[in-house]
Amino acid sequence: MTASTTDTDSPARLISPRYWPSWLLMSLGWLLSQLPYRLQMWLGAKLGRLAAYIVPTRRRVAEINLQLCYPQLSDDQRRELLKDHFRSVGRGALETGICWWGRQSKVDALAHIEGLQHLEDAAMRGRGIILLSAHTTSLELGVRMAQKYMSELGFSTTAMYKPPRDPVVDRVMRTRREAHIGGSSIPASDVVALLAALKRGEAVWYAADQKAGKRVSVLVDFFGQPARTHVAVSRMAKMTRATVVPFFTLRRADGRGYRLIVKPPLSDFPSGDETADARQINQIIETVVAEDPAQYFWLHQRFKRKGFDPYAPSKASS
């Protein structure tokens, strides 16, 4: 470990007054995580409505994404979908608190798994597992919920993550995740650690739906729009012989918890054609998103590419 990394993680450094607002935010998160579930979801929806006005730049990104991906909807329908989306984002913030600090009995009671036999099938192959996922608003909680089932199958589970800029949030995220999922969190830049975990036969969560650089992506359709799509899943599976299992989390329509959706392990994957593999992954994600579009994270600039930037300020507004 380098000296700089040690300094960043030092508890003495993190109790500096400059970090007190961050610790206050984490304390508020813990407090909210102790509330009854239905009250949490009600508060989350209100928080999401507020966020839609507090972060107008992100709201604009979501509006543009919905226009691109759902041109068949009327303006009124897209506006309602946008409102539902921000309610879902707000609930996701409260669900992160449940993930980090919620009682295990509460978490287990909310989880309803679909397709457990597909995980059992993957476990029988005796190799590492890539849990292919996407950025639904309940993803963070889904990672913890799945740990019970992965542990019963004999798997140590970890997840890749993008370290937050705030070192307090980073420390809390890592320690709470690792307390529940069993394995060490892997920074998105640490490909060596990711490959090593898969070669050891562990299970790794990987969300493959964010914009990627040209060297590690191909241009394939996502909701009918060309999008730079990661080829990392294909390359990891090829290098480690890991089994790829699509695994998603959605909030139940009846408000009684979450669906952990497990689909059959991908066959003939990787195929040797990274473009075909990326297209297959996008199609799987589209199928899940179609079940409840409001729960997908539409706040990323997913469709920006060379020569095309739908998120650039228009001349009329400049």
Res. 2: pLDDT tops 50:
no
- 156, pLDDT greater than 90: no
pLDDT top residue among 110 and 6: 110
pLDDT of 262 higher than 70: yes
pTM over 0.75: yes
Q: Which domains, and CATH codes, for the chain? A: 104-308 (3.40.50)
Residues 6+ apart with CB under 8 A from 116: 149, 262
Paired tokens of 205:
């969560």
- Please report, for residues 10, 15, 18, 88, 167, the alpha-carbon distance to residue 6 in angstroms, rounded to integers and kept in the order given: 6, 15, 18, 37, 12
Which residues, in sequence order, are bridge partners of residue 220? 227
Q: Kindly report the number of other CB atoms within 10 A of residue 314's CB atom.
A: 6
Is the dihedral angle over the CA atoms 50, 56, 57, 58 positive or is it negative?
A: positive
Strand partners, 158: 204
Average pLDDT, whole number, for the chain?
90
Using alpha carbons, select from 122, 170, 152 the residue that is nearest to residue 22. Answer: 170
Higher per-residue pLDDT: 88 or 160:
88
Give me the residues paired with residue 254 across strands.
Answer: none
Q: In which band, very low, low, confident or very high, does the pLDDT at 54 lie, cut at 50, 70 and 90?
A: very high
Q: What pLDDT was estimated at residue 6?
A: 39
Tokens 């009995």 identify what position?
105
Mean pLDDT of 22-46: 96
What's the rounded Cα separation, in Å, for the pair 123 and 212? Answer: 30
CB 128 within 8 A of CB 240: yes
CA distance 106 to 127: 31
* CB burial of residue 267 (10 Å; 0-12, 13-18, 19+): exposed
Which 3 state secondary structure label does DSSP give 280?
Answer: helix
Q: How far is C-alpha 82 from the geometric centre of its chain's CA atoms?
A: 19
Could you give the maximum distance between any two Cα atoms of the chain, in Å? 59
pLDDT of residue 191: 87
Residue 318, pLDDT score: 41
> Which contiguous run of DSSP H or E holds residue 187?
strand 186-187
Is residue 41 pLDDT above 80, yes or no?
yes
Region 143-163: mean pLDDT is 85
